[in-house]
Amino acid sequence: MVEIRCCQLEEVPQLIKLLKQADLYYEGCDSEVSLENKIWSEFDSILVAVDGDRIVGMVITICDPWISFIYHGCVDPEYQRQGIATQLREEAERRLKENGAKVIVGYVYPKNKRSRTLLKKAGYQEDKPALPVYKVL
């Protein structure tokens, strides 16, 4: 059985490995320094599923009373279909709600049918497609 908890700084390299494995890694925001800064600024914003000392799943949150976000939800392929993604999502939602979130937006690649199905089952609604834009500072 896995444990869901906050990520520790020394575990960031495992996060990067998992993100790369899931094809979710983006150097602009997922570098070691960026993820460490995320933990420093909001210690409970990166939740991990842990089996022993191995991170087997993760989700990142941004909590804002106006609108909150979940993204980078992924589970190691060896651990998929065991309910870990649901546990991570439920804990992320619980923590966001506890901190004043009223609306949660999740970012999911259109091709990721598993995540889309999981979120729909949990009551999420797909909105009109929007093109994300960003600027590296």
Is the pLDDT reported for residue 128 higher than 80? no
Give me the mean pLDDT over the 3-30 stretch: 93
Give the separation between CA 130 and CA 118, rounded to whole angstroms.
Answer: 20
Q: How far is CA 77 from CA 46, 107, 137, in A?
A: 19, 20, 34
User: Which residue has better confidence, 121 or 39?
Assistant: 39
Query: Would you tell me how many other CB atoms lie within 10 Å of the CB of residue 120?
Result: 11
Is the pLDDT reported for residue 135 higher than 70? no
Q: What percent of the chain has pLDDT over 70?
A: 95
Q: Quote the CATH superfamily of domain 3-121.
A: Gcn5-related N-acetyltransferase (GNAT) (3.40.630.30)
Buried/exposed 36-68: b ≥16 CB within 10 Å, e otherwise: eebbeeeebbbbbbbeeeebbbbbbbbbeeeeb
Q: What are the tens digits of pLDDT across the range 59-105?
A: 999 998 888 999 899 999 999 999 999 999 999 999 999 999 998 98
What pLDDT score does 136 carry? 67
Give the separation between CA 53 and CA 38, rounded to whole angstroms.
Answer: 21
